[in-house]
Amino acid sequence: MKDYDHIIIWLDYINKNLSKKKGRRVKRENAVFDPTFSELFEAAKEEGLDVTLDHSNDHARFPRRSYVRSGYIMISKTVSKKKSEIISSLSSRVLIQRTKNKRAK
């Protein structure tokens, strides 16, 4: 049954390895190579979005790539931003996290 109260953000939306046909929703410059569920979850927390592990799944399979495990987070629709704006802001947060991790090493 479809849930109309939440927005679903899949990892594949920000995966740099994928084409737009396979499910990427941001520009390649803003995408990340093989994002992880924990990176997406932390980026959503940093954005101030209401995300819980109860409304997330790190073993789900994105419909266009059902042979690969992906994962998603669910965000309440009480957010005033559009889905595309949320995806791009999360993608930029994950990029920032990765650059910080590279500098720390």
Q: Mind listing the pLDDT tens digit of every residue in the chain (105 residues)?
A: 567 788 999 999 999 999 999 999 999 999 999 999 999 999 999 999 988 888 899 999 988 888 888 999 999 887 788 999 999 999 999 999 988 887 876
- Is residue 12 within 8 Å of 22, Cβ to Cβ? yes
Closest CA to 75 of 59, 87, 64, 63: 87
Per-residue pLDDT at 1? 52
Structural domains of the chain in order of their starting residue, each with its CATH number: 6-104 (3.30.56.30)
Per-residue pLDDT at 12? 95
